Amino acid sequence: MRKLLMSAAALLPLLGGGCVAKTAFNVATMPVKAVGKTADWATTSQSEADRNAGRKLRKEDEKRAREARAEEKRRDRERRESDRD
């Protein structure tokens, strides 16, 4: 029983060798991946800038349209009040 346990313990590093290499690779590449992710978060791509500019223009157009509708309602209200007098 003891020999079997010792044999298994001796073979364990050979069986787990791939895991150690994979872990070492992951540890070595982690800083590079972290810097790349930080750069992605810190910068704006051209497509993101275009999308944001389009969104801003749409919001401005919607605001102008709301203001124009409100102004039109105000004029109609004034016209109706002046017609009553």
Question: What whole-number distance in Å separates Cα of residue 70 and Cα of residue 77?
Answer: 11
User: Which residue matches tokens 């709301």?
Assistant: 66
Question: What whole-number distance in Å separates Cα of residue 32 and Cα of residue 39?
Answer: 11
Q: What is the pLDDT along the chain (85 residues), one digit of tens a residue?
A: 777 666 666 655 655 556 767 777 787 888 888 888 888 788 888 999 999 999 999 999 999 999 999 999 999 999 999 888 6
- For the chain, strand residue ranges (E) read none
Cα–Cα distances in angstroms (integers) from residue 76 to residues 49, 63, 64, 67, 84, in the given order = 41, 20, 18, 14, 12
Regarding pTM above 0.85, the answer is no
